[in-house]
Amino acid sequence: MSVSIDANALGLDYPLYTVRAQSLRNAVISATVGGLLMKTQQDVTVVRAISNLSFSLKEGDRLALVGHNGSGKTSLLKVLAGVYSPTSGTLKISGRITSMISMSIGLDPDASGLRNINTLLLMQSLSRRQIAERVPKIVEFSELGPYIHMPYKTYSAGMMARLMFAVGTAIEADILLMDEWLSAGDANFREKASERIESFVGSAKMLVLGTHDFKLVQRVCNKVLVLDSGRPAFYGSLNDWLSWSSTQ
């Protein structure tokens, strides 16, 4: 099966509240979210997180999403991951998606880490045999030890990140979605995970990566999409982006 992403005039709105709300509150929220406040025909204020965005990717592409905080990178990744449905435009995706930003969806905080691992793998449509093969490796890599049998809600932020990373990188990806390169756990775990993520990204047929790291973009990606308040400021090849960036 060929792998591709085709987005045409993509848009995403977050509804907030009626336009009759105080104008000062509107201004504060607009500054906070970095998006554009718009008025719909239903007299509802929305944050326009993505506006009129079009791009096309094929197998082998490595796309960097670049922009300041609030520019729409994470919103776009969540649309691609299926967390949000676009409110306008069309999106066609061919290929199996593994998202490192939506792994926590479906987690049960009262269930053990081990139970949650099984649940997350089931949500990826893996067979019982495939799950049974992966679980011991995930548990070992996470380094959670006996805590794997404790409720997920008792985990520290670092322990949660290690479990999510271990699960996410145990599933082969056609299309890999990432928000920043690696932020799982403490410094020791990040060092251990660096080789694994390099291999994982290398084996994916397509990568969409949100990042602020200029050097990482040059090392990993062949295409760049620059977002500004949810709108495309630039989309093209890495070399064209380097030329464009030098003029900004």
Give the residue numbers spanning the domain of 79. Answer: 4-95+210-245
Is residue 3 pLDDT above 60, yes or no?
Answer: yes
Please indicate, yes or no, whether the overall pTM of this predicted structure exceeds 0.85: no
Q: Is residue 104 part of a domain?
A: no
Q: How many CB atoms lie within 10 A of CB 117?
A: 24
pLDDT of residue 17: 57
Q: Which residue has the higher pLDDT, 236 or 82?
A: 236
User: Residue 196 — very low, low, confident or very high, per pLDDT cuts 50/70/90?
Assistant: confident
If we measure between CA atoms, which residue out of 64, 63, 34 comes closest to residue 51?
34
Residue 41 sits in the same domain as residue 71:
yes
What's the rounded mean pLDDT across residues 77-105? Answer: 88
- Please indicate, yes or no, whether residues 200 and 215 belong to a single structural domain of this protein: no
Do 157 and 82 share a domain, yes or no? no
Strands 44-58 and 36-39, by their bridges, are antiparallel
Whole-angstrom Cα distance, residue 97 to residue 3? 10
Does the pLDDT of residue 22 top 60, yes or no?
no
**pLDDT value of position 7:** 97
State mean pLDDT over 193-214.
85
Tokens (6 digits) for 64: 């960097």
Task: Tell me what the mean pLDDT of segment 79-106 comes to.
Answer: 87
**What is the number of structural domains in the chain?**
2
